[in-house]
Amino acid sequence: MASKSSLNQENKEVLLTNEGLRKLEQELEFLKTVKRREVAERIRQAIDFGDISENSEYEDAKNEQAFVEGRILTLQKKLRNARIIDDDEVTTEEVSLGCKVVLEEVDNREILEYTIVGSMEADPEQSKISNESPVGRALIGKKLGDIVEVQIPDGKIRYRILEIKK
């Protein structure tokens, strides 16, 4: 039987922007329609090679099938538990999910811009940080001009909020 904490994790609300929702739906559709067929075809071809007990192509295809099916289940669960952050909910009064924040690192005056998103959408390369990350958590609820401190492995880093926008 699943533990109470794993049940809570399974039903945990997933916060998504409209863009994030579209991306997850597109990935799910691709996996269900294209990828499943590709993997099934690889399995059929591997079986045609004969003895599957020592057939590495068959093993690889079965492993990929397991990964694809697992990812489909994960996405379906996430989408079932999704709460969409409506653009109308996003305010520029304080930092919240869905907003863009322009920050100045206090010590070296470097300017950074992040979009605050739910953990499913986080993509640091695209400057999308999770509300659950150390920086995201420190920013949520703060206002223009506030200085936030974030604990990092080397100590603390301080940011001043220069702008909050949709």
> pLDDT for 57-77, tens place per residue?
888 999 999 999 999 999 999
Reported as a single tens digit per residue, the pLDDT across 12-55 is 888 888 888 999 999 999 999 999 999 999 999 888 877 777 77
Reported as a single tens digit per residue, the pLDDT across 99-145 is 999 999 999 999 999 999 998 899 999 999 999 999 999 999 999 99
Set out the domains of the chain in order of their start, with CATH numbers. 4-85 (1.10.287.180), 87-165 (3.10.50.30)
For 19-28, the CB contacts below 8 A with 24+ separation are: 19/121, 20/117, 20/118, 20/120, 20/121, 21/79, 21/82, 21/84, 23/121, 24/75, 24/78, 24/79, 24/82, 24/120, 25/79, 27/75, 28/72, 28/75, 28/76, 28/79
State pTM to two decimals: 0.72
